Amino acid sequence: MRLLPSTPGARTIRMGAAVAAVAAITLAGCGVAHPATEKTADQKTGTTGKITPAQRPAAGPQQRAEADAGSILASFAVPSGARRLSAAPSAGKGALKTAIQIPGTPDLVDKTSWWLAPGSPHQVLAWEAKHVSPRYSSEGTATIGAGDRVSIWSDMFSLPAVNGVLDSRELIVEVIQDGKQTAIRVDAQVTWQPATPASDRIPAAAKAVTIALNPGMNQHGKKAPKPVTITDPTKVSQLRALINAQKLFPPGTYHCPADFGDSLTLTFRAKAGGPAVAVAVAVNQLSGCGLLTITLDGKAQPDLSGVSGTQILKIAGLTWKLPAL
């Protein structure tokens, strides 16, 4: 059984096959400024250190995700008296073999370690919450079970996303009773933003652009203004650059607000009245997931993240009123 929370960037929540229970999940995000350095902890000695940007490999998003996941896993504050395990413990019929949550994207690095510590699950989580690096924000808790039948507990912590590089960076600590001790699974999950392919760009040959507004289905019969064609080189160049600067829409499973179809369509041409060389449809941010769809020479390209309709109109010098919910 899997649960998908109704939030953008939805996570896949794992229900252990051996646990006939109901998952109770509470998630609360909190953003903080991206730190210049990140603290790490030696998992044997508990001593702390720092990793600076200069120590990070100058590589692509996936390599950065690998490096950050390693640092996050090393930052786990090891409880006093705990020992590291070479594999998932047998507690709960192997309930800690898989993570309690898995981001719904293939662009994921998930590094894991297992531990066995003295004390109860609640004591272990309380110890971790007290000793986790202040660089992290608490993201919430998750449980598998209900009432006195809860068998797995988890606390989730996060570092800020790295704009245009890493979508999420999380430390997840999952615990289960194992005899008189507590078995622990630690996950460092980092998702990266794939690079926008060269094919997903408006070509420089586009010298004119026609802008059309679709008010959508929630405007009670309001008519759209007539499309406007812009040939001013500066405006066309700025609109082309705005579209080309957008990142790929993150892959995965998402639950979006209702989409009423309101959008701005930008049809780029080599000259006014000529055939379309590229079409960009910007879904208004007020509905749906705010996608930016691109078609080049009649072929659909990967979706990009949404761009502000207000910004498009400002560059174009248009005073249209965008649809409102």
The per-residue pLDDT for range 6-40, each reduced to its tens digit, is 333 333 333 333 333 333 333 333 332 233 333 44
Other Cβ atoms less than 10 A from the Cβ of 316: the count is 20
Indicate whether 162 and 120 sit together in one domain: yes
- Model pLDDT, residue 215: 81
Look up residue 244 and give its two tokens: 């080309």
Mean pLDDT of the chain: 77
Q: What is the DSSP letter of 304?
A: B
pTM exceeds cut of 0.85 = no
- Model pLDDT, residue 324: 61
Q: What is the DSSP letter of 147?
A: G
C-alpha distance from residue 262 to each of 47, 259, 310, 322 (Å): 54, 8, 13, 9
Cα separation, 87 vs 110, in Å, equals: 15
Indicate whether 212 and 188 sit together in one domain: no
Residue 67 confidence (pLDDT) above 80:
yes
Residue 10 lies in a domain: yes
Indicate whether 27 and 128 sit together in one domain: yes
Least confident of 13-17, 78-82, 168-172, 250-254: 13-17
pLDDT (average), residues 126-142: 94
- Model pLDDT, residue 253: 57
pLDDT (average), residues 225-231: 94
Least confident of 185-189, 207-211, 216-220: 216-220
Burial bucket for residue 182 (CB in 10 Å: 0-12, 13-18, 19+):
buried
- Model pLDDT, residue 232: 96
Q: What is the pLDDT of residues 255-271, one digit of tens each?
A: 565 666 678 899 999 99
Indicate whether 216 and 162 sit together in one domain: no
Q: What angle do CA 242, 248, 249 make, to 5 degrees?
A: 110
Show Cβ contacts of residue 63 under 8 Å, excluding neighbours closer than 6 positions.
Answer: 57
Indicate whether 236 and 299 sit together in one domain: yes
Least confident of 120-129, 205-214, 220-229: 220-229
Indicate whether 87 and 169 sit together in one domain: yes
Least confident of 58-62, 182-186, 297-301: 58-62
Residue 128 lies in a domain: yes
Q: In which domain, by residue range, is 47 found? A: 2-192
Comparing C-alpha atoms, which of 129, 158, 160, 154 is closest to residue 142? 154
Indicate whether 81 and 141 sit together in one domain: yes
Indicate whether 134 and 213 sit together in one domain: no
- Model pLDDT, residue 114: 98
Indicate whether 152 and 277 sit together in one domain: no
Domain count, the chain: 2
Show Cβ contacts of residue 245 under 8 Å, excluding neighbours closer than 6 positions.
Answer: none
Comparing C-alpha atoms, which of 180, 187, 77 is closest to residue 135? 77
